[in-house]
């Protein structure tokens, strides 16, 4: 049986770090998308995919 997810069981510094990441990931993703459109390289596409997956994970509480 899987344990239930409880973010309040985390230490305060980890909750603060997650909150900061939630606030910063969308602007970083938008900037990376613009950069990928203007100068598409393999690294830019991979970074954009990572940022998109990370933003979905933070939004839907997968992390």
Structure tokens at 24: 């910063």
Q: What's the structural domain count of the chain?
A: 1
Rounded-to-integer distance, Cα 42 and Cα 48, Å: 10
Q: What is the pLDDT of residue 18?
A: 86
Rounded-to-integer distance, Cα 37 and Cα 56, Å: 21
Range of the domain at 53: 13-59
Task: Please say whether the dihedral angle defined by the alpha carbons of residues 56, 36, 21 and 26, taken in this order, is positive or negative.
Answer: negative
18 falls within a domain = yes
Beta strands in 1-63 (DSSP E): none
Q: How confident is the model at residue 2 (pLDDT cuts 50, 70, 90)?
A: low
27 falls within a domain = yes
**What's the predicted TM-score (pTM) here?**
0.76
Summarize pLDDT for 27-60 with one digit per residue, the tens.
Answer: 999 999 999 999 999 999 999 999 999 999 888 8
């Amino acid at each position: 049986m899987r344990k239930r997810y409880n973010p309040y069981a985390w230490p305060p510094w980890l909750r603060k770090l997650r909150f900061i990441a939630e606030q910063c990931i969308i602007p970083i993703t938008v900037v990376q998308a613009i950069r990928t459109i203007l100068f598409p390289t393999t690294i830019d596409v991979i970074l954009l995919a990572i940022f998109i997956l990370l933003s979905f994970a933070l939004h839907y509480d997968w992390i």
